[in-house]
């Protein structure tokens, strides 16, 4: 997605060689026009796949996921990172190791929001080692639902996430694929859409 790559070049900041900071348009301040375009691109790719629900994980997956949900006219559910007292019903859970926080935490989705008849498209902001997406897949499978694919805004192709998900039999669609960044230079591989 050319406009996304251009935005990463313009506003992204590399922290060392493995972390990309995009807090001016995706992970903190959010550019809704760009999110809308992202929503349309994923929707075009998945429109005829019989998707019934969009699933993501809080917090930075929510913005792109919501615009995918709007473009496909579907509900969006986000996994919660901490249980709160209002979650009184049965929950689906998974352990997720956070690449950026370097801690493992339990994430959860209320069981009533995922049914065995659901066909789910997972959306997230970044794909690094695939742990967030793997946790979401585990919860979707606990519900007996089907995962149609994982849609990623920015994949870091030099990390192992894509391989992990493909080995699990889950197709990955990434709008920007970041290659190894040396000497502070951002390089892209060919994206999926």
Judged by beta carbon, residue 116 or residue 124, the one nearer ligand 5GP is 124
- The Cα 27–Cα 25 span in angstroms is 7
Find the shortest distance in angstroms from Cβ 129 to ligand 5GP: 4
Nearest to 191 by CA among 10, 1, 8: 1
Mark the binding-site residues for xanthine, compressed into ranges: 20, 27, 156
For residue 80, what are the contacts with CB-CB under 8 A and spacing of at least 6?
58, 87, 107, 108, 109
E strand spans, 22-75: 53-57
Mark the binding-site residues for 5-phospho-alpha-D-ribose 1-diphosphate, compressed into ranges: 128-132
DSSP 8-state secondary structure symbol assigned to residue 184: T
Binding site for ligand 5GP (CB under 6 A): 19-21, 27, 60, 99-100, 124-132, 156, 161
Judged by beta carbon, residue 44 or residue 58, the one nearer ligand 5GP is 58
Judged by beta carbon, residue 94 or residue 114, the one nearer ligand 5GP is 94
Find the shortest distance in angstroms from Cβ 15 to ligand 5GP: 8
Find the shortest distance in angstroms from Cβ 60 to ligand 5GP: 5
Classify 54 in phi/psi space as left (phi over 0), alpha (psi -120 to 50) or beta. beta
Judged by beta carbon, residue 48 or residue 101, the one nearer ligand 5GP is 101
Residue 83, phi then psi, degrees to nearest 5: -75, 135
Find the shortest distance in angstroms from Cβ 89 to ligand 5GP: 25
Residue 105 class from Cβ within 10 Å (0-12 exposed, 13-18 middle, 19+ buried)?
A: middle
């Amino acid at each position: 997605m050319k406009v996304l790559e251009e935005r990463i070049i313009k506003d992204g900041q590399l922290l060392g060689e493995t972390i990309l900071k995009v807090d001016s348009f995706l992970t903190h301040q959010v550019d809704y026009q760009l999110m809308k375009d992202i929503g349309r691109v994923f929707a075009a790719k998945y429109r005829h796949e019989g998707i019934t629900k969009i699933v993501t994980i809080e917090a930075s997956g929510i913005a792109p996921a919501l615009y995918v949900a709007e473009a496909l006219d579907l509900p969006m559910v986000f996994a919660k990172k901490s249980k709160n007292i209002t979650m009184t019903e049965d929950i689906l859970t998974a352990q997720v190791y956070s690449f950026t926080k370097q801690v493992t935490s339990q994430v959860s989705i209320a069981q009533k929001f995922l049914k065995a008849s659901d066909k789910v498209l997972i959306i997230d902001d970044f794909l690094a080692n695939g742990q967030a997406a793997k946790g979401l897949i585990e919860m979707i499978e606990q519900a007996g639902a089907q995962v149609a694919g994982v849609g990623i805004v920015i994949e870091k192709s030099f990390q192992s996430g894509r391989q992990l998900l493909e080995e699990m039999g889950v197709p990955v669609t990434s709008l920007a694929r970041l290659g190894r960044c040396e000497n502070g230079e951002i390089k892209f591989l060919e994206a999926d859409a």
